[in-house]
Amino acid sequence: MDAITPDSKKTILITGASGFTGRHACQYFMEQGLRVAAFVRKVDDTLPQGIETYLGDLLDQELLYEVLKSVTPDYVLHLGGKNSVPNSWEQPLLYMQTNILSTLYLLDALRIFPACRTVIVGSRLCFELTIPFRPPHPYSLSKSLQKAATLSWQELFGQQVILAEPSNLIGPGPSTGFCALLAQYIVRCERGEESYPFTVSSRSKKRDFLDVRDAIRAYDLLLHRGEPGEIYQVCSGTETGLGNVADKLLSFAKETVSVEWGSEPLTVLEKPLSYQADQLGKWGWKPQIPLTASLYDIVQYFRGEEGSV
């Protein structure tokens, strides 16, 4: 059993709480009995009832310090940041600011809470910071530097900071990922709102897909048991071709859906990634939601209906 039963008096601060993962995290930790404080950039009425909401920008250092003093967190789950590869080409400096500086501002503000355990959620799309530097896109650069800054800060100041590197998170909720985009397209086709085919870059590309709800269970474990300064991969350990995923999503469609397949070649970071199953597995964690169930739940979410889980 991998679930943690926390002290109901404990407080967790979740940054990026109005995002895809953040909304699930707020719901999960509320159900675990924690006091949940959500740091968001704007009012979001879709967040679960009963959480404390703090409005602001993580780049506002003065406000961030005030929020932390008010919340006095025992745990922090840092989900705030930007994660669109295409958009990172349009606004590279914004990605550097948002993913690197906001993380450092948060860690610096947390220095007055030495017992606070913090999980920084990074990305598996990092590249090696060794010369010659070959980042595939600005997003990868921002997350690679965030990783280096996080681990360096932990070493310098001895804070209880753990780094999580999730794979492609999927599941019901507002997302801009491949599965959500295709599921939205399927539902629009069912409603007669689409006339152009959905384009997929390649059937052969593979991804490690993990349900976001399983990922949050892993983050919970890391908040309680993760070793400060360590990196933990949060993934299923199995890579699935985009073609297979699309076929499964299309099997749920109630109307004919047109898809066009490209032949874009694999890039370096799209080749199979190493996976160290013993990191979370030693605590009994493993994915509980099958890929098929997760994909079905995504389609049902966009239909406005209950899913299978």
Give 107-162 pLDDT, tens digit per residue: 999 999 999 999 999 998 888 888 888 999 999 999 999 999 999 999 999 999 99
- Encoded amino acid at 33, one letter: G
* CB of 161 closer than 8 Å to CB of 154: yes
Per-residue model confidence (pLDDT) at position 263: 72
Starting at the earlier edge strand, list the strands of the sheet with 168-170.
168-170, 206-211, 239-241
* CB of 26 closer than 8 Å to CB of 77: no
At a CB cut-off of 8 Å and minimum separation 6, what does 252 contact? 186, 295, 296, 299
pLDDT of residue 87 exceeding 50: yes
State what percent of residues in the chain have pLDDT above 70: 91
Per-residue model confidence (pLDDT) at position 277: 53
Chain-centroid distance of CA 80 in Å reads 9
Dist. CA 211–CA 32, nearest whole Å = 19
Per-residue model confidence (pLDDT) at position 28: 97
pLDDT of residue 23 exceeding 80: yes
Q: Region 243-248: what's the mean pLDDT?
A: 95
Per-residue model confidence (pLDDT) at position 83: 85
Per-residue model confidence (pLDDT) at position 275: 52
pLDDT digits (tens, 9 = 90+) for 36-68: 999 999 888 888 888 999 999 999 999 999 999
All structural domains of the chain with their residue ranges: 11-166
pLDDT of residue 273 exceeding 60: no
93: left (phi over 0), alpha (psi -120 to 50) or beta: alpha
pLDDT digits (tens, 9 = 90+) for 152-204: 999 999 999 999 999 999 999 999 899 999 999 999 999 999 878 898 888 88
* CB of 114 closer than 8 Å to CB of 71: no
Q: How does residue 20 score in pLDDT terms, banded at 50, 70 and 90? A: very high
Closest listed residue to residue 234, CA positions, set 84, 118, 122, 80: 122
pTM: 0.91
The sign of the torsion formed by the CA atoms of 21, 235, 102, 155 equals positive
Per-residue model confidence (pLDDT) at position 5: 46
Fold of 11-166: Rossmann fold (3.40.50)
Give the mean pLDDT of the chain: 90
The sign of the torsion formed by the CA atoms of 38, 42, 43, 47 equals negative
Closest listed residue to residue 309, CA positions, set 183, 121, 170, 200: 170
Tokens at 118, concatenated: 């913090």
Per-residue model confidence (pLDDT) at position 1: 36
